[in-house]
């Protein structure tokens, strides 16, 4: 917005909101329009901020979350009051559990209408208080800059997360001539040198150490440094659930991912380790295998826990050494330490850890049906660039990515550790709009994709040329798998009557393909990569091919044998 900080002119609340976003570096925001924040929409006419118009508030919030995850700065989403805000909660929950900086702006009723249950009235402090770091309502136009600056600071400090700000119509229509604020300054904790030296001492004494990388607050430089550090110190490195982009899978120190469907050999190495380093993550239910890999609260293994949020240290695990610092700041000090002489025993240990991973991620898997997903993954990996961004939501189909995709670059994975369905498509759109030069591939199951399928319209409208791969087995596969484990043969509520996804995608102007046989995938992918528009590949798989390691029949028979 073309305003002068030396000679301020009165601006309405909507203009002040947009001015603040510009000052804090926002280049793109996601929204579903609403009459409750019309002054903001009007102010955006004179702004360089790219306004991405979405089809559903849940999709818009997921796009904002994915932007925050990819860039490390708050993703921004605007929604209207009541139904708009409630629809956006899926994205807020992802941002909370994934420790992603995000700000949700909500249009709100005028302050003079409160407590009457006015049209779409919601008390957002009560409603959202448990799923955001901070929620507030801006009652005074003169405090817009204050609240928004605080929102950016809260979203990015300590353990990052979502913030929600409600914007009453009366605040947005009022005017103020306040001077423009300064840009916010992100603040992250730094480790003390005594803690670093103690950590180094523990690393030197350990015979079977294992680093588990997770959480947020990483960047491309700290990822490169941890790779170099692990090589110098002969440390095997694993990554937490859906944080696989934090370490190059081809690096000789990579040991695999500690997540759902974990390599049994890696799980045993966690149990047998004499020093576990939780680096950046919380190690919650999914990576900890239902809190069984580390005893709670006192693990049997020596434990170092490094986390940017002080409130997370000691919350679940009592560490032998707790370091309150961001990964980026820890790596600055660690890289200054002198590595010990090479240890032949440690070299063998690291080599075996990596060999276990290579074997686990390379061994061909044959499943029932005419489409073999192992071949699909191999073809895809060989045909797309190394820095391709891969996104997914929730479902058993994601196990093919977790196990067989080798992430090589930071910023190449967008996936919800919260296990939210519907995430892959909106995340892919956000990634493509943020980095249009990169190839972006979204994986989704047939149930997963229908949570946000309407965002194909957003992709087409904003020319986000992504490739969406829909793995269709005609059911909510993960729930069906659990049904067969606990109630074998009793199918209830998990069958899906699906549309022809290729035809539906074509109606949005998306290039579409259908794959019924494995050998059809390569040609479909080749055309999708060159079509210069969004593309969708609909893959029909057998319901029996429930995971890379078992079938529905095998699960059912095992459950029946135990009864």
- Span 458-491, pLDDT tens digits: 999 999 999 999 999 999 999 999 999 999 999 9
d(CA 455, CA 466) in angstroms, rounded, equals: 12
C-alpha distances in Å from residue 478, one per residue of 268, 416, 472, 495: 25, 16, 13, 12
Task: Say what the pLDDT of residue 563 is.
Answer: 81
- In the DSSP assignment, the letter for residue 111 is G
Q: Find, among 456, 442, 450, the residue nearest to 476 by Cα.
A: 450
Strands (E), 325-388: none
Provide the pLDDT for residue 6: 59
* pTM: predicted TM-score of the whole model, two decimal places: 0.95
CB atoms within 10 A of CB 436: 11
Location of each CATH 3.40.50.970 domain in the chain = 11-176, 364-562
- Does the pLDDT of residue 275 top 60, yes or no? yes
Mean pLDDT of 434-458: 97
Distance CA 286, CA 98 (A): 12
**How many residues are given for the chain?**
563
Q: Is the pLDDT of residue 172 over 50?
A: yes
pLDDT (average), residues 252-270? 96
Planar angle of CA 160, 164, 165, nearest 5 degrees: 130
pLDDT in tens, 498-555: 999 999 999 999 999 999 999 999 999 999 999 999 999 999 999 999 999 999 999 9
The one-character DSSP state at 313 is: T
- Provide mean pLDDT across the span 179-198: 94
pLDDT of residue 501: 98
Neighbours of 308 (CB within 10 A): 25
193-360 maps to which CATH number? 3.40.50.1220
Superfamily for domain range 11-176: Thiamin diphosphate (ThDP)-binding fold, Pyr/PP domains (3.40.50.970)
pLDDT tens for residues 3-48? 545 567 899 999 999 999 999 999 999 999 999 999 999 999 999 9
Q: Which CATH superfamily is domain 364-562 in?
A: Thiamin diphosphate (ThDP)-binding fold, Pyr/PP domains (3.40.50.970)
**In which residue ranges of the chain is CATH 3.40.50.1220 found?**
193-360
Instruction: Give the chain's mean pLDDT.
Output: 95
HEC states along 498-561?
A: CCCHHHHHHHCCCEEEEECCCCHHHHHHHHHHHCCCCEEEEEECCCCCCCCCCCHHHHHHHHHH
């Amino acid at each position: 917005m073309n305003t002068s900080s030396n000679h301020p002119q009165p601006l309405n609340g909507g203009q002040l909101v947009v001015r603040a976003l510009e000052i804090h570096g926002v280049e793109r925001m996601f929204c579903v329009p609403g009459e409750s924040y019309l002054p903001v929409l009007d102010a955006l006419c004179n702004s360089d901020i790219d306004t991405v118009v979405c089809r559903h508030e849940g999709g818009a919030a997921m796009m904002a979350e994915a932007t925050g995850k990819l860039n490390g700065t708050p993703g921004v989403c605007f929604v209207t009051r009541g139904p708009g805000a409630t629809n956006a909660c899926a994205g807020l929950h992802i941002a909370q559990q994934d420790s992603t900086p995000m700000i949700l702006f909500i249009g709100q009723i005028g302050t003079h209408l409160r407590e009457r249950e006015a049209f779409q009235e919601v008390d957002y402090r009560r409603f959202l208080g448990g799923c955001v770091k901070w929620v507030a309502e801006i009652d005074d136009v003169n405090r817009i800059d204050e609240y928004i600056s605080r929102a950016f600071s809260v979203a990015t400090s300590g353990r990052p997360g979502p913030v929600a700000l409600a914007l009453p119509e009366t605040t947005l229509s009022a005017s103020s001539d306040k001077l423009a604020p300064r840009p916010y300054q992100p603040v992250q904790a730094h480790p003390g040198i005594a803690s670093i030296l103690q950590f180094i001492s523990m690393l030197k004494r350990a015979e079977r150490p294992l680093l588990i990388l997770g959480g947020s607050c990483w960047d491309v430089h700290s990822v490169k440094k941890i790779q170099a550090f692990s090589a110098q110190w002969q440390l095997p490195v694993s990554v937490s659930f859906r944080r696989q982009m934090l370490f190059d899978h081809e690096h000789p120190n990579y040991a695999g991912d500690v997540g759902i469907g974990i390599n049994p050999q890696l799980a045993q190495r966690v149990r047998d380790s004499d020093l576990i380093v939780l680096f950046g993550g919380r190690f919650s239910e999914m990576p900890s295998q239902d809190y069984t890999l580390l005893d709670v609260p006192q693990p049997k293994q020596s434990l170092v826990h490094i986390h940017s949020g002080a409130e997370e240290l000691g919350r679940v695990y009592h560490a032998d050494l707790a370091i309150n610092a961001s990964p980026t700041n820890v790596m600055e000090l660690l890289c200054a330490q002198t590595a010990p002489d090479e240890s032949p025993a440690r070299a063998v240990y690291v080599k075996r850890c990596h060999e276990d991973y290579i074997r686990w991620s390379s061994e061909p898997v044959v499943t029932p049906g005419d489409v073999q997903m192992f071949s699909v993954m191999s073809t895809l990996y060989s045909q797309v660039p190394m820095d391709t961004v891969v996104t997914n939501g929730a479902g058993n189909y994601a196990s093919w990515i977790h196990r067989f995709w080798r992430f090589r670059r930071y910023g190449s994975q967008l996936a919800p550790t919260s296990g939210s369905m519907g995430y892959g498509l909106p995340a892919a759109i956000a990634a493509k709009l943020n980095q249009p030069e990169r190839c972006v591939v979204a994986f989704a199951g047939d149930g997963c994709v229908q949570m946000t399928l309407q965002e194909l319209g957003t992709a087409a409208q904003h020319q986000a040329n992504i490739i969406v791969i829909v793995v269709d087995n005609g059911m909510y596969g993960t729930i069906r798998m659990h049904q067969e484990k606990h109630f074998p043969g009793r199918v209830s509520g998990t069958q899906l009557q699906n549309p022809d996804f290729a035809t539906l995608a074509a109606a949005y102007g998306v290039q579409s393909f259908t794959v019924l046989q494995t050998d059809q995938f390569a040609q479909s992918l080749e055309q999708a990569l060159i079509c210069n528009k969004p593309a969708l590949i609909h893959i029909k798989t057998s319901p029996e091919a429930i995971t890379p390691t078992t079938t529905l029949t095998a699960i059912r028979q095992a459950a029946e044998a135990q009864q």
